């Protein structure tokens, strides 16, 4: 028995060396620079940070309320049935028109009316509408095929596919790695990617901004920022996750009626969300019966209506701290109940994303049991939702492109097989950012293939 034990121990010790080394671009294990519990960080203890369960910097309560002042002037924000917006001919709009504030709980169709003329002017400046008209209905990002048929140039709702389609239109100036954890070292980047001026990091993987180009604008859905070091010189901002599907939200024009205090419907209970959901049920925040006790997927139309009836929507972390449900709650006009990251490099960008919005912040993953109905005031709230809509981010992207001398989109038809060639086999362009693609008939589309646009039916427009 002793011999067997020794053999097993020896085999366990040798096993890790049996695997070939992974390339830098294949490492998708969510590395955590600056975390003191990570072996790779222990040698730099002066630069690492422990987890922090306290709220000493902003109070000691388990549940904190932010920006919860009532709206200054009660307003009915419904825009249903209004005549189409008429944009003045030959009027010029400054780029800062994309930064206009969006009153919290303004319906998305009304937000579109607010930005319609501004967006039309700047999309025309870059020829974006014309490029989208010529484009096929799919893009390929990091080896994945995405259906972008329903993404329009005049959209205001934030959908991560909007940035994918935008990157294909401005290729190679916008780099969109999806689910990559870190940028490649500078000496390993294909020469064409040294030209990017905007990095839009999508997906749940964390990104360390210090590994990106110093002069690039960094936008990321899970951003790490070392609080002991200066901000990235090109600018680094935390992106919202966006909505899961913008189509059911696009025409929503009714004001949020706040008829239901809290809605918990449609929450996917994966990872440790189950215990948080049960803690909310035990204290009457989420009901134990009825529609709101139903978790997982529900009909899109019902989901939009349910969220738009709510005053509050719990949105615990899922795979990452930034979720689809956060954006969907805010677009619906409901106050999100969120969990604060316990790790300082995560916390700063996360807090910046919500600094203009009403929201509740739960101290940590065990503090959901502390939420009570008396934490949740019933009045309607003021606040600014612009960071959860696309125009705000288009401002930063367009501003950076203009400063880099980019004046328009460049139409480049895809290869028939949808692949993008590269001089370096380890750095296929189609696997790093987004390009127009013509997929094979049996290829799976992320984001869902639109039945109105069958695969292989797109034809290149005549010039």
**Whole-number pLDDT of residue 21:** 46
The total of other beta-carbon atoms located within 10 Å of residue 389's CB is 26
Domain tally, the chain: 2
Q: In this structure, are 149 and 135 located in the same domain?
A: yes
With vertex at residue 95, the alpha carbon angle to CA 91 and CA 98, rounded to the nearest 5 degrees, is 100
Structural domain of residue 321, as residue ranges? 65-73+251-385
Residues in the chain: 463
- Residue 207 sits in the same domain as residue 122: yes
Q: What is the CATH classification number for the domain harbouring 376?
A: 3.40.50
Q: How many Å apart are CA 72 and CA 382, to the nearest integer?
A: 7
125 and 232 inside one domain = yes
**Do residues 277 and 373 both lie within one domain?**
yes
Contact partners, residue 293, CB within 8 Å, separation at least 6? 264, 281, 286, 287
Last residue of a domain, one of 362, 385, 408: 385
Question: Does residue 429 belong to any structural domain of this protein?
Answer: yes
| Residue 233 and residue 100 share a domain | yes
144 and 262 inside one domain: no
pLDDT at 166: 97
Is 60 a domain residue? no
Q: Are residues 239 and 379 in the same domain?
A: no
Is there a single domain that holds both residue 193 and residue 291?
A: no
CA–CA separation, 124 and 110 (whole Å):
22
In a domain, 57, yes or no: no
CA dihedral 119, 122, 124, 129 (to 10 degrees): -50
* Closest-CA residue to 131 (of 403, 442, 381, 461): 461
Structural domain includes residue 307: yes
Domain presence at residue 187: yes
pLDDT tens per residue across span 11-43: 333 344 444 444 433 433 344 556 666 655 555
- The tens-digit pLDDT sequence of the chain (463 residues) is 444 333 333 333 334 444 444 443 343 334 455 666 665 555 555 556 766 655 554 455 889 999 999 988 888 889 999 999 999 988 999 999 999 999 999 999 999 999 999 999 999 999 999 999 999 999 988 778 899 999 999 999 999 999 999 999 998 899 888 766 555 554 555 555 677 899 998 887 777 776 677 888 999 988 888 777 777 888 899 999 999 999 999 999 999 888 889 999 988 887 788 899 999 999 999 988 887 777 778 888 899 999 999 999 999 988 778 899 999 999 999 999 999 887 778 888 899 999 999 999 998 888 999 999 988 998 889 999 999 999 999 999 999 999 999 999 987 777 655 454 433 333 444 446 788 988 776 677 777 766 455 444 455 554 4
d(CA 165, CA 341): 31
Domain edge (last residue) among 385, 404, 421:
385
Q: What is the pLDDT of residues 337-394, one digit of tens each?
A: 999 887 778 888 899 999 999 999 998 888 999 999 988 998 889 999 999 999 999 9
Final residue before a domain boundary, out of 370, 385, 400: 385
446 lies in a domain?
no
CB 156 within 8 A of CB 242: no
DSSP β-bridge partners for residue 224: 208
Question: Are 376 and 310 contained in the same domain?
Answer: yes
Whether omega before 172 lies within 30 degrees of 0, making that bond cis, reads: yes
Which secondary-structure segment (H or E) carries 11?
helix 2-14
Which residue blocks in 251-406 are alpha helix, DSSP H? Answer: 273-282, 300-308, 324-331, 344-353, 390-403
Give the residue among 206, 172, 200 at the shortest CA–CA distance from 35.
206
Residue 267 counted as domain residue: yes
Residue 408 Cα to chain centre, angstroms: 25
Residue 347 placed within a domain: yes
186 with 314, same domain?
no
Does 364 share its domain with 406? no
Rg (CA), the chain: 23
What ranges in 357-460 are assigned the alpha helix state H? 390-403, 429-432
CA distance from start to end of the chain: 78
The answer to whether residues 419 and 353 belong to one domain is no
3-state secondary structure of 322: coil
């Amino acid at each position: 028995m002793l011999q067997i034990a020794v053999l097993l121990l020896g085999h366990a010790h040798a096993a890790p060396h049996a695997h070939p080394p992974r390339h830098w671009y294949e490492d998708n294990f969510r590395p955590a620079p600056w975390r003191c519990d990570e072996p790779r960080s222990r040698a730099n203890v002066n630069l690492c940070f422990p987890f922090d369960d306290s709220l000493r910097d902003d109070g000691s309560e388990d549940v904190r309320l932010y920006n919860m002042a009532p709206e200054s002037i009660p307003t009915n924000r419904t825009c249903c049935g209004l005549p189409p917006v008429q944009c003045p001919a030959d009027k010029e709009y400054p780029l800062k028109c994309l930064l206009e504030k969006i009153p919290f709980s303004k319906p998305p169709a009304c937000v579109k009316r607010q930005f319609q003329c501004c967006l039309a002017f700047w999309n025309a400046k870059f020829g974006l509408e014309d490029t989208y008209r010529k484009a096929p209905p799919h893009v390929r990002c990091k080896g994945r095929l995405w259906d972008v048929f329903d993404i329009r140039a005049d959209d205001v709702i934030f959908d991560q596919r909007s940035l994918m389609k935008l990157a294909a239109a401005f290729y190679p100036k916008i780099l969109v790695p999806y689910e990559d954890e870190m940028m490649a070292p500078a000496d390993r980047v294909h020469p064409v990617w040294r030209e990017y001026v905007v990095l839009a990091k999508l997906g749940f993987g964390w990104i360390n901004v210090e590994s990106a180009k110093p002069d690039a604008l960094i936008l990321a859905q899970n951003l790490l920022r070392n609080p002991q070091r200066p901000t990235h010189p090109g600018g680094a901002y935390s992106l919202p996750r966006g909505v899961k599907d913008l189509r059911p939200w696009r025409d929503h024009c009714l004001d949020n009626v706040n008829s239901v205090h809290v809605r918990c419907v449609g929450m996917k209970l994966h990872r440790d969300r189950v215990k948080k959901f049960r803690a909310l049920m035990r204290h009457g925040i989420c009901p134990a019966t009825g529609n709101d006790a139903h978790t997982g997927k529900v009909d899109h139309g019902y989901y939009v209506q349910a969220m738009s009836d709510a005053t509050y929507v719990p949105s615990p972390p899922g795979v990452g701290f930034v979720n689809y449900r956060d954006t969907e709650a805010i677009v619906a006009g409901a106050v999100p109940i969120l969990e604060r990251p316990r790790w300082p490099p995560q916390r700063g960008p996360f807090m910046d994303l919500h600094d203009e919005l009403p929201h509740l912040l739960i101290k940590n993953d065990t503090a959901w049991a502390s939420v009570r109905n008396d934490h949740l005031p019933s009045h309607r709230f003021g606040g600014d939702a612009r960071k959860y809509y696309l125009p705000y981010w288009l401002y930063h992207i367009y501003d950076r492109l203009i400063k880099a001398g980019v004046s328009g989109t460049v139409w480049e038809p895809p290869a028939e097989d949808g692949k993008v060639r590269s001089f370096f086999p380890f750095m296929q362009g189609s696997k790093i950012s987004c390009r127009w693609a013509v997929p094979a008939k049996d290829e799976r589309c992320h984001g869902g293939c639109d039945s109105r646009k069958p695969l292989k039916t797109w034809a290149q427009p005549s010039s």
